[in-house]
């Protein structure tokens, strides 16, 4: 404890963490403006948001899994070359020759599956809470785009091991693209870089998987979180509590049944 | 007592006044009352994050990611399976024209989900007042989960019906 106290009094610590020794609520509120990590959060939330049943913390889980995928994915990138000649051998070598390679690959694989589950469950939870209603409509739309991006990230990553599972899953998945009306063959051609899954497909999926899609996802997550924070800071009481007459509530209920 | 305020540990007491306790201590807090994010929400998020990472760690220590033999365009596995999150679409593909199962249905789902907040203009949040929305969404969810399970675990060679406890064809 003495050591921690000493560290907290050093000039370097104080230059990094802009907090007083003893934090009051006022200091804590101020931290939301002075700390980068804290500015993601609103200063206050309604107590209902603390309950597990409110969100099951599925949004947090999704974000943490994205972090786990980024860290494990960057490690795997050091040892992987996206070419049909090398890809499969690289995965084998990651599993046998690279320090913690098998474990990191497992983390990446299972985090990806769990992230699809977490994002989908997050969406369902938000629906049942009615949290897509004004003023949060557009944040729901961003959330749907984030779900689609998560699926695309998972799907593009599925090809990279270049084993039978990867090759044929992607062959099945992309065969549907050719049924897009009018632009079907063009869509498939752009996706695969040729008539069938080959070396061009592997490079395209790799670039999508490690650069374009994660960048898009990270960008949209920041907007998603920013809007969440802004909306949390409004006190959004249910409309029935605004002191309207019972008739008006009745009208709304019957209006839904049309 | 002197007029000088007593300084204890860099804090000084300026005065004690009679009256009601401060707002935060006054009442039993309700669901709508606000609390500070730091520490109340932060500590919960930290615990949630640790639980998620623990699950990932344990699963990754227990189960290895699959790696089949090297890709071979001349040998088609039977059944060919899409990733599990596309299993419902693949199951639909066995029953409908690919234009319907591969393009129209996924397009309608994504489009419908995006349009949801603009279609459902009922401002009510209480479950009893939004039965239609809940029922429609629940039906969609159940159908989708059932189709995913069928496509993932109940389909074998030539997309024929198998019982997963007899033959396992699910791929992760």
Provide ipTM, 2 decimals.
Answer: 0.85
Residue A151 in this model has a pLDDT that exceeds 80: yes
Give me the pLDDT at residue A254, please.
Answer: 41
Contacts of A212 (CB under 8 A, 6+ apart): none
Instruction: Check B86 against A155: CB less than 8 A apart.
Output: yes
Instruction: Check B41 against A173: CB less than 8 A apart.
Output: no
B137: closest CA among B107, B117, B151, B152? Answer: B117
Top mean pLDDT of A114-123, A179-188, B159-168 is at A114-123
Q: Which of B29, B114, B122 sits opposite A255 (nearest CB)?
A: B122
Residue B10's region, left for phi above 0, alpha for psi from -120 to 50, else beta, is left
Stretch A205-231: mean pLDDT: 96
Chains A and B form CB pairs within 8 A to the count of 231
Instruction: Check A169 against B38: CB less than 8 A apart.
Output: no
Contact of A162 with A91, CB cutoff 8 Å: yes
Mean pLDDT, chain A, integer: 88
- To test the contact with chain A by mutation, choose from B52, B87, B148 the residue with the greatest count of A C-beta atoms within 10 A, namely B52
Report helix, strand or coil for A237: coil
Give me the pLDDT at residue A133, please.
Answer: 93
A256: closest CA among B170, B8, B119? Answer: B119
Q: What is the pLDDT of residues A71-93, one digit of tens each?
A: 999 999 999 999 999 999 999 99
From CA B168, how far away is CA B164, in angstroms rounded?
Answer: 5
A31: closest CA among B44, B38, B45, B24? Answer: B38
Give me the pLDDT at residue A241, please.
Answer: 43
Residue A64 in this model has a pLDDT that exceeds 90: yes
Report helix, strand or coil for A102: helix
Stretch A64-77: mean pLDDT: 98
Residue A251 in this model has a pLDDT that exceeds 50: no
What letter would DSSP give residue A210? I
Q: Does A65 touch chain B (CB under 8 A)?
A: yes
Give me the pLDDT at residue B28, please.
Answer: 76
Contact of B61 with B54, CB cutoff 8 Å: no
Chain B CB contacts of A154 below 8 Å: 83, 85
- Stretches where chain B sits below pLDDT 50 are none
CA angle A112, A113, A114 (to 5 degrees): 90
Please give the residue that has the higher pLDDT: either A39 or A161.
A161
Name the residue with tokens 């009018």.
A182
Contact of A209 with A160, CB cutoff 8 Å: yes
The pTM for the full model equals 0.86
How does residue A8 score in pLDDT terms, banded at 50, 70 and 90? Answer: confident
From CA B75, how far away is CA B73, in angstroms rounded?
Answer: 6
Give me the pLDDT at residue A20, please.
Answer: 73
How does residue A255 score in pLDDT terms, banded at 50, 70 and 90? Answer: very low
Residue A236 in this model has a pLDDT that exceeds 60: no
A88: closest CA among A163, A158, A155? Answer: A163
A136: exposed, middle or buried (C-beta count within 10 Å: 0-12, 13-18, 19+)? buried
Instruction: Check A141 against B114: CB less than 8 A apart.
Output: yes
Residue A203 in this model has a pLDDT that exceeds 70: yes
Stretch A85-106: mean pLDDT: 97
A233: closest CA among A69, A37, A39, A25? Answer: A39
- To test the contact with chain B by mutation, choose from A5, A19, A168, A240 the residue with the greatest count of B C-beta atoms within 10 A, namely A168
Q: What is the pLDDT of residues B116-162, one digit of tens each?
A: 999 999 999 899 999 999 999 999 999 999 999 999 999 999 999 99
Give me the pLDDT at residue B15, please.
Answer: 74
Instruction: Check A110 against B37: CB less than 8 A apart.
Output: no
């Amino acid at each position: 404890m003495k050591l921690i106290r000493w560290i907290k009094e050093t000039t370097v610590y104080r230059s990094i963490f802009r907090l007083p020794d003893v934090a009051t609520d006022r200091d804590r509120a101020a931290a939301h403006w002075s700390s980068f990590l804290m500015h993601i959060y609103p200063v206050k939330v309604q107590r209902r948001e603390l309950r597990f049943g409110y969100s099951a913390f599925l949004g947090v889980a999704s974000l943490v899994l994205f972090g786990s995928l980024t860290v494990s994915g960057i490690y795997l990138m050091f040892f992987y070359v996206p070419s049909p000649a090398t890809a499969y051998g690289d995965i084998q070598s990651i599993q046998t020759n690279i320090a913690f390679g098998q474990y990191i690959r497992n983390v990446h694989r299972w985090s990806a599956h769990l992230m699809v589950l977490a994002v989908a469950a997050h969406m369902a939870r938000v629906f049942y809470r009615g949290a897509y209603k004004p003023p949060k409509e557009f944040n729901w739309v961003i959330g749907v785009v984030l779900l689609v991006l998560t699926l695309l990230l998972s799907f593009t990553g599925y090809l990279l091991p270049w084993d039978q599972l990867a090759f044929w899953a992607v062959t099945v998945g992309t065969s549907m693209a050719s049924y897009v009306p009018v632009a079907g063959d063009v869509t498939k051609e752009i996706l695969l870089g040729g008539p069938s899954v080959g070396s061009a497909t592997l490079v395209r999926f790799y670039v999508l998987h490690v650069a374009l899609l994660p960048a898009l996802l990270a960008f949209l997550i920041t907007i998603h979180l920013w809007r969440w924070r802004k909306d949390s800071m409004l006190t959004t009481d249910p409309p029935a509590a605004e002191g309207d007459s019972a008739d008006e509530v009745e009208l709304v209920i019957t209006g839904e049944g049309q | 007592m002197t007029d000088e305020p007593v300084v204890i540990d860099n804090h000084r007491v300026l005065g004690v006044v009679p009256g009601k306790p401060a707002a935060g201590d006054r009442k039993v807090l309700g669901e709508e009352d606000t609390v500070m994010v730091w520490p109340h929400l932060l500590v919960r998020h930290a615990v949630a994050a640790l639980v998620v990472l623990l699950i990932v760690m344990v699963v990754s220590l227990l189960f290895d990611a699959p790696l089949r033999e090297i890709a071979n365009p001349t040998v088609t596995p039977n059944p060919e399976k899409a990733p599990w999150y596309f299993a419902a679409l693949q199951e639909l593909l066995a029953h409908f024209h690919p234009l319907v199962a591969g393009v129209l249905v996924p397009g309608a789902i994504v489009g419908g989900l995006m349009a949801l907040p603009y279609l459902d203009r009922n401002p009510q949040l209480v479950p009893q007042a939004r039965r239609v929305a809940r029922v429609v969404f629940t039906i969609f969810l159940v159908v989708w989960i059932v189709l995913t399970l069928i496509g993932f675990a109940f389909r074998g060679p030539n997309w024929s019906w198998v019982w997963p406890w007899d033959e396992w064809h699910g791929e992760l």
